[in-house]
Amino acid sequence: MPKTPPTKADLSTRSLRGLNPASAEVIWDIRISGFGLRTRRNNDPAQWRWVFSYREGGRGSAQVKLSKAYAEMTPEQARRWAERERGRKGTSEGERQKRLTADAARIKDKRTPTVQRLWDEYWEGEGRLKKAAHSYRQLWRDHLSPTFGSIKVTDLTPAMVERFKVTKRETPGACNRALALLSKMLSLAVLWGYREGCAPEHPVKGVSRYPEHQSEFYYTADEWGRLLEAADNDQHRAGGLALRMLALTSARLGEVTRAHWGQIEFETEEKGGGAWWTVESTNTKIGRPVTRFLDPDLAQRLLEWKPISIALQSARPVVELGQAAQWWVFPQQFDPRLPLLRLNNVWERVWKRAGVRKGRIHDLRHTGATHLVIATGSLEAAMIQCGHATPITTRRYAHVVPEVRRANGMRLAGLAAQAEEDAKARKAADKTVVPMKGQRDVSDAIGRPALQVYSERVPRQRG
């Protein structure tokens, strides 16, 4: 009896929407060998599991299988999990031989790799797994590769790095981040022995960075209110509501545009209304969930928008991490299967109609944090609302505004005036002290040198 060929597919969020679970016991991925989705021919996603199998030690040895529950991760996260396991274990004898060959080639060419090859090794090893992988690849492509790509790692000198820095003086922020990436790559080069015998061993260390002037732009309370009014009246209802949610939560743009209804838990009127919005760790910058409270007015607006949002996506719901079938809060108008990713056109209309200064969408986050600090006087409140990991980041958004500076100046003046009054009162009290009978009054010595007063009170001893 001929062997049934395995069922393969591109395991992604989009392809899973049209998946037929009964087609096979396991549906294997076409990109990663050994990675698949075990459906057991069952239509219930609760019974599905992500699987990854490999052979311990190569061909002929025992096969090892790893599995994760389907609801624990999205297809993209499951693929990254399989890639990490493949890097740790090796999926086959062929993979193991490729890795051994690559290691041998690296050892053979140990003293003469180029910076391009150093980047390739860094990217394959850990760079592509970083959360900022897209930014790293862009920094390498646009800034570092044209200058350093063909240079041998052993030939790199601090003078070359300084010349690169001079050429990037018009973009100091990008230059600083490119130098940080190059520094990380060269730290690995030192660890791998690529810079052995070179002086200095790490050519980026000691190269100063450009000073970056942090923007203190934020909208005043009047401008803030006009922006909210203009957003309510925008022709794009989903975009206007998304901007209002941004302005009232100080959330990141991606957290709002990729929000789905499974994240929002509405409270009853008996509890005062409102809603709790919890963003999963996969969609936050700090890598852990962030929970915010939505005021009753915003919650009511979302409740009125919910049936319209779901009706746009009724043909096919979105499968989200750890949830059953869910729908985007703000779907795209022409392709409701995808969430809104850009609000630039909506924002352009809103700030112009509001008659305020030109700013970025991200300045709504700055504005919320700033006004929260003004109202509460607490950086911690803004840190919790923005979802920052440390107060240091919050200080970049909650700027020291003129109102705070004025209040600080008045407070210091009041403290100084009180200290001055206390000093005058103590001085007046000292002058009213009457000396005891037989005790010498030394008040006339005030203002004379201390040595003179001391010599009058203590007789000189002759020697």
Domain segments of the chain as ranges? 7-97, 110-191, 236-397
Inform me whether the pLDDT recorded for 391 exceeds 90. Answer: no
Contacts of 263 (CB under 8 A, 6+ apart): 277, 278, 279, 280
| pLDDT band (50, 70, 90) for residue 442 | very low
Amino acid found at 51: V
* Structure confidence by residue, pLDDT tens digits, 171-197: 888 999 999 999 999 999 999 888 888
| pLDDT band (50, 70, 90) for residue 103 | low
| pLDDT band (50, 70, 90) for residue 321 | very low
pLDDT at 245: 92
| pLDDT band (50, 70, 90) for residue 49 | confident
What separation in angstroms does the CA of 120 have from each of 136, 185, 358, 431? Answer: 12, 10, 41, 82
Q: What does the pLDDT average to over 425-439?
A: 69
Inform me whether the pLDDT recorded for 99 exceeds 60. Answer: yes
Question: DSSP for 339-391?
Answer: B----HHHHHHHHHHHT-----TTHHHHHHHHHHHHHH--HHHHHHHHT-SSH
Q: What is the mean pLDDT of the chain?
A: 79
pLDDT at 451: 45
Task: Find, among 94, 67, 409, 363, the residue nearest to 227 by Cα.
Answer: 363
Of the candidate ranges 78-87, 425-434, 439-448, the one whose mean pLDDT is the lowest: 439-448
| pLDDT band (50, 70, 90) for residue 445 | very low
| pLDDT band (50, 70, 90) for residue 12 | confident
In this structure, what DSSP letter does residue 109 have?
Answer: T
* 236-397 has the same fold as 110-191: no
Of the candidate ranges 44-58, 317-331, 407-421, the one whose mean pLDDT is the lowest: 317-331
Take residue 192 and report the two structure tokens written for it. Answer: 């791998």
* Structure confidence by residue, pLDDT tens digits, 195-242: 888 888 999 998 999 887 666 688 888 999 999 999 999 999 999 999
Task: Find, among 49, 121, 63, 129, the residue nearest to 92 by Cα.
Answer: 63
Give CATH superfamily name and number for 236-397.
Intergrase catalytic core (1.10.443.10)
pLDDT at 63: 59
Sheet with 275-279: list strands edge to edge. Answer: 264-266, 275-279, 290-294
449 preceded by cis ω (within 30°)?
Answer: no
| Buried/exposed 107-121: b ≥16 CB within 10 Å, e otherwise | eeeeeebbbbbbbeb
Residues 302 and 260 sit within 8 Å (Cβ to Cβ): no
In this structure, what DSSP letter does residue 71 have?
Answer: G
Name the more confident of 347 and 405.
Answer: 347
Inform me whether the pLDDT recorded for 114 exceeds 60. Answer: yes
Pairing, β 264-266 against β 275-279: antiparallel
Amino acid found at 348: E
453, containing H or E segment = helix 450-457
In the block, which residue shows the tokens 């601090």? 158
0.75 surpassed by pTM:
no
Task: Find, among 232, 387, 221, the residue nearest to 300 by Cα.
Answer: 232
Residues 158 and 126 sit within 8 Å (Cβ to Cβ): no
Q: What does the pLDDT average to over 9-17?
A: 75
Fold of 110-191: DNA polymerase; domain 1 (1.10.150)
What separation in angstroms does the CA of 112 have from each of 56, 75, 289? Answer: 34, 40, 45
Take residue 109 and report the two structure tokens written for it. Answer: 């060419």
Q: What is the largest CA-CA distance in the chain?
A: 128
pLDDT at 418: 87
Residues 343 and 253 sit within 8 Å (Cβ to Cβ): yes
